[in-house]
Amino acid sequence: MDYVCRGHRNALGNPRTATPFPKPDTYSPSSYLKYRVNNSTTSRQMSASRLLLPPYTLQTALQKVKLAQKAWNTRDPAHVSLNYTPDTIWRNRDTFLRGREEVVKFLTKKWEREHFYVLRKELFAFKDEKIAVQFFYEWNEKADGTGQWFRTYGLEDWTFDRETGLMRKRAMSGNDVRIEEEERWFKRGVDYVEGVEIGDRDL
C-alpha cells in the first residue's frame, strides 16, 4: 500500500506517493529522519528558510522567526530538525542535546506529553548571525483535552551557520504557567495565532 504525500503532485497533477514506513516501534531515529527527509511535504519551506542567510536584516530576521513558528506548529520532529545543522547544539531548559537525531528524540517525547500544542514566536533582537526570540505556547497535559492547561513563556537565543542559514546553536529558557481553559489565547488553533493581541500587560 502506498501513502499519499499531502500537497505534493507530480508533473501530471497526480498525487505523489511515499514509501510506507515501518511501525514506530521498529525504527531508529536515524532511519526515521532519513525517511522524513526523502518524503518531506514541506521541502519548499525548508529551502526558503535556508535562503535566509546571515547577516540578518529586520525583514529577514522576522521571516526567519515566522518560518520557525510554522515549522514547530507542525509538531513533526523530523521536519523541525531539518532547520538545524546536523551537529546542532541545544540547551532546552535543563536538557543538553547535540545533533539532529537527539533533537528528533527530544521533540518526539515533548509532543507525546504536550497535547493541543499551539505556538507563537516573536522577534526580540537580532545582530549578524544571531537572533533572540520571545515565544508563547499553550498545551494540555491530557490527550483528550480534559487535563490541566498550561501556557509556556520563554526566550530563545539562536545562532546560525553563515553558509547554509541553518541554526547551529539554540538555547531556550521557559516557564510553564497553569491557566484555565477560558484564559487560553490560541483556542482557534495555529491558523489564528497572529490574530491574538499580546501586550506588555500579558508578559
Residuewise pLDDT in 10s, the chain (203 residues): 333 333 333 333 444 344 343 444 444 555 545 544 444 444 555 555 557 999 999 999 999 999 999 999 999 999 999 999 999 999 999 999 999 999 999 999 999 999 999 999 999 999 999 999 999 999 999 999 999 999 999 999 999 999 999 999 999 999 999 999 999 999 999 999 999 999 888 87
Look-up of cell digits 514506513: 21
Instruction: Identify how many contiguous H helices and E strands the chain contains and give both numbers.
Output: 5, 8
The C-alpha atoms of residue 164 and residue 179 are separated, in whole angstroms, by: 40
Residue ranges covered by each domain of the chain: 1-41, 42-202
The backbone region for 75, taken as left when phi is positive above 0, alpha when psi lies in -120 to 50, beta otherwise, is left
What is the sign of the dihedral through the CA atoms of 78, 159, 59 and 93? Answer: positive
Look-up of cell digits 500579558: 202
Whole-prediction pTM: 0.78
- CATH for 42-202 is 3.10.450.50
Q: Where are the alpha helices (DSSP H) in the chain?
A: 29-38, 43-51, 58-72, 77-81, 100-113
Q: How distant is the alpha carbon of residue 52 from its chain centre? A: 17
Look at residue 5 in the predicted model and tell me its pLDDT: 32
The C-alpha atoms of residue 15 and residue 95 are separated, in whole angstroms, by: 40
Look at residue 201 in the predicted model and tell me its pLDDT: 83
Look at residue 191 in the predicted model and tell me its pLDDT: 96
Look at residue 32 in the predicted model and tell me its pLDDT: 46
Look at residue 51 in the predicted model and tell me its pLDDT: 72
